[in-house]
Amino acid sequence: MSADNGIYILKTKDQYRVIYAQAIENLYWNPLDESNFDKLIPTRIVEYYGKSKYTHNKDIVRDIAFNMARKIPVLEYGVSEIIIDKTWKQIVKEAKELALLEIEFIKSRNADGKWDWEISKLDDIINM
């Protein structure tokens, strides 16, 4: 069985953030276009990284990442860096706009309530 986990540093134009996560490929998932996994999706970035602290110093973020990695017994993908050519403020702005569209789309297909948790996370983004 795969751990499917890693420590992921997000490098934006203006800051660094770091998280421990599983299924990081979800950063590319968009319910509006489930066939296209070519670009990072702002709503997923904010869902994954939105509550993490940030720094402007790459040495500090790497120290944090490697300290996190030492505490995890099985780390399948190690420490990786994800680079996006936007500021955090731009990502959040785009995420808020996209969250509205995603909620509308999900609600139109959410007859059984199985996506209620996803809608809740999107509402959190809008209300940031």
Domain count, the chain: 1
> Mind giving me the DSSP string for the chain?
----EEEEEEE-SS-EEEEEEE-GGGGG--TT-TT--SS--HHHHHHHHTTS-EES-HHHHHHHHHHHHHT-S--TT-EEEEE-SS-HHHHHHHHHHHHHHHHHHHHHT-TTSTTHHHHHHHHHHHT-
> Would the pTM of this model clear 0.85, i.e. be above it?
yes
pLDDT, mean of residues 106-123: 86
Reported as a single tens digit per residue, the pLDDT across 52-82 is 999 999 999 999 999 999 999 999 999 999 9
State which residues form the domain around 36: 5-126
